[in-house]
């Protein structure tokens, strides 16, 4: 699990750099992302799975399977479908 989250972090960082360079908005609400907002604030960047893990998406998808989203939008959307409720996706 640690190894996976390290991979995910690296992937998320790549998405962040590319999205920032391209000026991409949040893919959920289409509003600009505040790149300098403090981490975990509602308008800050987070990397979102286009195909939720709970619905069969890969934990570590290809770069194209990840999109930039606001931290706030991402966690709202994730309600009820996140890892906490789908432990089996992690192989335990």
Contacting residues toward Zn ion, per CB under 5 A? 26, 28-29, 70, 73
In the complex with Zn ion, which residue's Cβ is closer, 54 or 67? 67
Query: In the bound complex, what is the minimum distance in angstroms from residue 22's beta carbon to Zn ion?
Result: 16
d(CA 9, CA 18): 14
d(CA 54, CA 59): 10
> For the chain, what's the residue count?
92
Query: In the bound complex, what is the minimum distance in angstroms from residue 30's beta carbon to Zn ion?
Result: 7
Closest-approach residue to Zn ion (CB): 26
In the complex with Zn ion, which residue's Cβ is closer, 30 or 84? 30
Query: In the bound complex, what is the minimum distance in angstroms from residue 26's beta carbon to Zn ion?
Result: 3
Would you put residue 30 in left (φ > 0), alpha (ψ -120 to 50) or beta? left
In the complex with Zn ion, which residue's Cβ is closer, 26 or 53? 26
Which residue do the tokens 């309600």 mark?
A: 79
In the complex with Zn ion, which residue's Cβ is closer, 26 or 66? 26
Beta-bridge partners for 66: 49
């Amino acid at each position: 699990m640690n190894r996976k989250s390290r991979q995910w972090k690296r992937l998320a960082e790549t998405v962040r750099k590319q999205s920032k360079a391209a000026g991409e908005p949040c893919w959920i609400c289409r509003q600009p992302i505040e790149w300098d907002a403090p981490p975990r604030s509602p308008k800050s960047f987070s990397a979102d799975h286009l195909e939720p893990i709970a619905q069969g998406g890969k934990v570590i998808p290809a770069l194209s399977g990840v999109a930039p989203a606001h931290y706030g939008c991402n966690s709202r959307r994730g309600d009820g479908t996140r890892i906490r409720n789908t432990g089996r996706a992690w192989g335990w």
